[in-house]
Amino acid sequence: MLFAGTQDGSILVWKFVAATNGFEPAAALKGHSASVVTLVVGGNRLYSGSMDNTIRVWGLETLQCIYTLTDHTSVVMSVLCWDQYLLSCSLDKTIKVWALKENGKLEVIYNREEEHGLLVLSGMPDAQGKPVLICSCNDNTARLYDLPLFTERGKIYAKEEIRAIQTAPGGLFFTGDGNGDLKVWKWTEQSPVAAETLKQ
């Protein structure tokens, strides 16, 4: 399935049809009252973050909303599935770590407050295979944290807000900022170093 969030708060769904070797519209998921900003699939669920300050959890089999998470107080900018956890960040200056409880619902097990609003979350192993969370803030920086203790590992500075982060094999990750710069980073033994800057 393919998902796309829209400004009116709906999520459009397409399913792949082998007979036509293409995608065909399957559904439009309704529930958010403002623009859908971020989507991620984890297991048999779709998680959507919105400008209505909520995260909605959808079942992939039924395409129905299972429940809504309302702990954030501003726009949910990014959601990330990592192992058995869901991580979310918001312009309310918090990163929240969610875990599935015995009642079948996600609950916040850790809440980290930052000095600035948060824009994007991504994660990857460092050169030693240890998990590192990369999160960008609206102060033109990205912060790196060792997990699970959120020990600060360092910062990446940009000319404008870092609005996109993508990881890749081989210890690489990419950051894109509002200035149009795409930077390529590679992990060394201690920290990531900029390998190349690609201009728009």
pLDDT in tens, 49-92: 999 999 999 999 999 999 999 999 999 999 999 989 999 999 99
| 136 occurs within a structural domain | yes
Q: Which domain holds residue 76?
A: 1-92+99-108
Q: pTM here?
A: 0.90
* Whole-number Å distance between alpha carbons of 185 and 196: 7
Domain co-membership, 133 together with 161: yes
* pLDDT (average), residues 160-178: 93
Residue where a domain stops, chosen among 55, 80, 108: 108
What CA–CA distances, in Å, run from 146 to 30, 104, 135, 162? 37, 28, 12, 20
Q: How many domains does the chain have?
A: 2
Domain co-membership, 43 together with 18: yes
Cβ atoms of 15 and 21 within 8 Å: the answer is no
pLDDT of 71 reads 97
| 195 occurs within a structural domain | no
According to DSSP, the β-strands at 131-137 and 141-146 are antiparallel
| 142 occurs within a structural domain | yes
What CA–CA distances, in Å, run from 45 to 28, 48, 55? 16, 10, 12
Domain co-membership, 135 together with 74: no
What are the backbone dihedrals phi and psi of residue 159, each rounded to the nearest 5 degrees, phi first? -75, -30
* pLDDT (average), residues 7-12: 98
Angle 54-110-108 from CA coordinates, rounded to 5°: 40
Domain co-membership, 9 together with 103: yes
Residue with tokens 């399913």: 15
